[in-house]
Structure 1
Amino acid sequence: MSRELLFYRADDGLIATGRLGTDGIFAGLADGKLSPHWTHIVPVGRELLFYRAGDGVIATGRIDTNGIFAELAEGGLSSGWTHIVPVGRELLFYRAGDGVIATGRIDTNGIFAELAEGGLSSGWTHIVPIGRVLLFYRPDNGVIATGSLGVNGIFTGLAEGRLSNGWTHIEPLGAELFYRADSGVIATGRVDTDGIFTGLAEGRLSNGWTHIVPVGQEALFYRADNGVIATGRIDTEGIFAELAEGGLSSGWTTIAALTA
């Protein structure tokens, strides 16, 4: 599995790339610059989809194993999507205000094709891919729902439930990691192929992490105000273990990890 990451700063388009080892050690690779103001950067295999919510402009690119970025293609979509979630090579687009969804696919040449349209409940703030299952969460009331996305772009609802409210981050790391940035409280759980959620373990980390980025079974934690990073891993029992600490430049707004 690829372990390259792209760091992006939206105000000026500055990028940097790096690689995370399985021991949790981070190594920088290359620097560069892209257009500013992309609101979403979504990994699809080795390709990356860039999207600007204000005008719907999209672009695609690829990072090689040396961390060098190359642009692939450009195009346009509807504006205003709040979430873009990768599921294999398919993508789920969701608009939190009205619950409208659409799906699409990116090929290895970076070309985007639309697949299907539909609708869900509005107001979901977190949509987390777990294989082909998606976990939806609302932090104000803890309501969750799950669904699956087919390779034809058709979405199917699976199950509903409730968790604790107030989680700021939910990330897939084999098991799912739940984190509250204000207190550092964490919990882990697992969603099966039927969309049923089971809680596993609880614990605590440092508070204030602004980004948690899955890279295989490991995660990179980053604080945008001071550039501090840390890495960790969840075992098969849902227990979290810290791996390493370090530092990067501050101010990165988006961190995307390649998925193939």
Structure 2
Amino acid sequence: MAATPEQIQEVLALRDRKVGPKQIARKLGLRPAEVNNIIHTQLSANPEKHSQPKKPLKLKECLIDAQGFDRFFGSQIIRKDRKGLFQVMVSRVDGQHCLVSTFLIDAWCLGVKNVIGPRKVKTIDYPLMREKAYAQTMQDSYRTISLAQAQSVVFGAVDYAKRLGLDPHADFERAQVNLGPRMDDLTRHEFGKNGKPYYFGSPYDDTDDILAKLRATVGEGKFDYTIGMDLGMGTVL
């Protein structure tokens, strides 16, 4: 006799709870071969629905440059915002390697402006890579932060930019695996500069598209921008 739809659902539910086929068979009064056939058939028909999500690797550390730390986590007295660009690095342990994702955050407008990774680095080489990453790209020292703090900056930047009609860097989905599942009740940060978006253009941006989206979402005159050299807000060269 074929298994009923109710039995099939119960088999799948027990499997998701990591109950073995033999235990499922005894519980439901089925033969182990029937249970295995149900599982195999359902997995073949719906591979994505019944796949088991991979757990993130063990966290090694989360870092942010010193000015970024002051910007997001400093007290109101010492909080600084001398620049809009900050770097967040999230590393996890992968055997004899570290798996590293780096996020360049444009807190004034674009959100996640650039990403690198996740890239594998030998554990022995990781300290030097970390030092070079901050010395070369940020001209700054770095601070250790928690995973929740790293998520609050990165996901907060993504959310802010999306409200402006701007998507994160194209490789963000791949790089964000190191962040793990988004936590609830993350700290909310203020983005923008002086209460509004400030777009500072770079040669690799689609400037016309970005400005068009800002005009559509924020409105003409309600954001500042610099294109070319830093000659003042709203300057176009």
TM-score w.r.t. structure 2 length? 0.24
Higher-Rg member (1/2): 2
More helix by proportion, 1 or 2? 2
More strand by proportion, 1 or 2? 1
TM-score w.r.t. structure 1 length? 0.22
